A and B are shown apart, each in its own frame.
Chain A
Amino acid sequence: MGLDSVGDLALNIILTKLGPKETAKVSSVSKRFKDLASEESLWSLFCLRDLDLSAPLDHHGNPLPSFKATYKLWREAFCMYPWSLVKRVKSCWDRLNSWFTTNFPEVKATLGRGASEGEIQELERILKVKLPLPTRLLYRFHDGQNLTGENLNTDAADCLLGLIGGYCFYDHLVNVYLLPLHEVILETREIVRHLDLPNGSQFIVVAASSSYIGKFFFLNCSDGQLYVGTQNLLTIGEMIPCVPQTLISPVHDFNIDQQQDAMLLWLEEHGHRLHNGMIKLRDEGNIKSISLFPEESPLCSTAVTNGVKVRASAIFVPEAVDLSRKYLFAYSIRMSLPPEGCIINGMRFSSCQLHLRHWVIRADDTVVSNVNSEAVIGKFPLLLPGEKEFVYESCTPLRSPTGSVEGSFTFVPGRLTDPQGRPFEAEVARFPLQLPDYIF
């Protein structure tokens, strides 16, 4: 053929354009093409492009001898899935992993090694279900979270390492984690036995709260939707869908593009919210956890009065809902003073203390509660300049899935026992109560 070095160089570039499959096919043509097709530069580019890999690693993170071996191994390990779906699921986990490695490595350490095809098939055999393709792939990368023992310091801390996270108000502590396959089997048999579900139902438990509160997430393997149990889960099997139904596409069809089931969408959304700061790490002394209370507008309102900054947001509490009678929302109120302190009409005060609260709660647009009372959860927080926010949580039942809360706190400059000036009202700007599109 008489190809010279110009040809070789050009062919290298041409092969990068043709892609990994064509490159692989071409290698069998002649020795020259075999050599051209084996160039590490090509396979390192393909690994980067397809899998965002800049080092030759397998899907468990173990190093491999070359990029060519890496690409081959990945394709073989996942040959039973559409490649575009493999890339998408890897990308979803990469996003979550990168956030947790940076911000909450203790959670990253709990993420299990990927399950094997054999382990997944075993679960399917025992529970008599067929997992949707995206969920199978999710488990191939990480088999849930391992929350028991070796990697943890104290018993108290391991409650709060759920990847999904949660909230706490009064004694209602929730922290949701992803179940590893062996727990999926145990919990599914436990609960589905109690539930009055039709024969051959394809529900499995995929996530739950690690606290004693019963909050369970079910994946329906036949339609690919995720559900969370309400207060009536064990009596009438009542559940609420967690992901917008319109986004779910047929999940057992091998031939279509863009497959997505609720579990994939749910985890992608969670990663998205962590990265854009809508939800954040909560750090209280030694106890860290992911708090699901929104931190950004429009779901979180902010108001500043005389320096007193009040941020407020609510979340939907599905496990306390009774669809025929009531909804429940929990809300988190954060208040703080800037370093300059409390400034009223130009006069500076080095502290202020909460005395009264005024709360207006609406269901839709109708006022259902108008409260004037002392303290917040029995406390009279004293705000000092430049300190961390004082945070408290409470809740309100509502007869409708939509509403709002607003109000004000009466503060006294100085302290209640030693007032330095006249009391003033610090606004709590209206924040919404609404049924979210994604339920966590």
Chain B
Amino acid sequence: MLCQYPRDNNKIVPSSQKTSARKSSDEKSMPSSSKKITLRSSDGETFEVEEAVALESKTIKLMIEESSSSNQEAITLPIVSGNILAKVLQYCEKHIEDDRSTAKELRSWDADFVKLDKDTLFQLVLAATYLGIERLVGLASEGAWSKVRPEIGGLGFRKKYEDQEVEMGYLWVSGSYTG
């Protein structure tokens, strides 16, 4: 079953047309950015994306480089489920257009992107780690931690849990330098 990953509502132009709008009118100079890659999630969903989007993932990049067939077999990602893969691809799609958005816009988009529940964020951290997308690992980690932190009462070095060993083990944390 082929499905497109969920698109942003505020996307102005579909991605395939965006690519040609950015390039010059000379068709011959268009590189392989129009080449499509098919990705398959652990639960069998398939996603067709531009090669440039897929290559944001170091793992997928390696898989493509190492695959003997030059063509069009779907790449299976056995530990990433469909709904998570959809979010990952949404992130990648947004972040290869770096020259279209300013840093401020990207930050704001990122902040909206991580407004997800804790479990999804945890799964996103794992998926991004497996796929080798460092920036997404960082973003999802921040998002997940902001959910966990209030539950454990913040990061003050407060002793909720009395343990001598723990205390002695981490005395350096409250040392004179913050560096």
Contact = CB atoms under 8 A, between A and B. Distances in A.
Interface stretch (B15-23, B35-43, B109-117, B169-177): B169-177
B118 to A, nearest CB: 8
A14 B156 CA distance: 18
Interface stretch (A23-31, A108-116, A303-311): A23-31
A29 B153 contact: yes
A80 B176 contact: yes
A6 interface: yes
A84 B169 contact: no
Given A13-B137, A17-B141, A25 B126 contact: no
B159 A28 contact: yes
User: Which DSSP category, helix, strand, loop or mixed, fits chain A's interface?
Assistant: helix
A252 to B, nearest CB: 15
A27 B167 CA distance: 9
Contacts of A24: 169-170, 172-173
A342 to B, nearest CB: 52
A21 interface: yes
A80 B177 CA distance: 7
User: What bracket does the count of chain B residues touching chain A fall in?
Assistant: 35 or more
B163 A34 contact: yes
B2 interface: no
B161 A14 contact: no
Contacts of B159: 28
Contact of B172 (A17, A75, A254): A75
Nearest to B172: A75
Which of B126, B169, B172, B176 is the most central at the interface, judged by chain A CB atoms within 10 Å of its CB? Answer: B172
Interface residues of A, number: 35
Interface string B145-179: 10010011101111111010011011111011101
B170 to A, nearest CB: 4
A411 B126 CA distance: 73
A18 B145 contact: yes
A84 B179 contact: yes
A7 interface: yes
Contacts of B125: 10, 13-14
A169 interface: no
Contacts of B123: 6, 10
Given A6-B123, A7-B122, A17-B141, A22 B155 contact: yes
Interface string A45-88: 00000000000000000000000100010011001111111000
B160 A29 contact: yes
Contacts of B171: 76
Contacts of A7: 119, 122
Given A10-B144, A17-B138, A81 B163 contact: no
B155 A25 contact: yes
B129 interface: yes
Nearest to A71: B172
A67 to B, nearest CB: 13
Contacts, number: 94
Interface string A352-376: 0000000000000000000000000
A10 B116 CA distance: 15
A33 interface: yes
A429 interface: no
Nearest to A16: B141
Contacts of A76: 171-172, 175
Given A10-B122, A26-B152, A79 B175 contact: yes
Contacts of A17: 137-138, 141-142
Contacts of B138: 17
B172 A72 contact: yes
Contact of A68 (B119, B137, B155, B169): B169
A11 B126 contact: no
Nearest to B165: A34
A279 to B, nearest CB: 33
B158 A28 contact: yes
A24 B78 CA distance: 34
Contacts of B158: 28
Contacts of B167: 28
Nearest to B163: A34
A1 interface: yes
Contact of A83 (B126, B144, B157, B179): B179
A363 B158 CA distance: 70
Contacts of B129: 13
28 contacts: A1-B151, A6-B122, A6-B123, A6-B126, A7-B122, A9-B126, A10-B121, A10-B122, A10-B126, A11-B122, A14-B145, A14-B148, A17-B137, A18-B145, A26-B152, A28-B157, A29-B160, A30-B161, A33-B152, A34-B161, A68-B169, A75-B172, A75-B175, A76-B171, A76-B172, A76-B175, A80-B177, A82-B177
Interface of A: 1, 6-7, 9-11, 13-14, 17-18, 21-22, 24-31, 33-34, 68, 72, 75-76, 79-85, 254, 257
Interface of B: 119, 121-123, 125-126, 129, 137-138, 141-142, 144-145, 148, 151-153, 155-161, 163, 166-167, 169-173, 175-177, 179
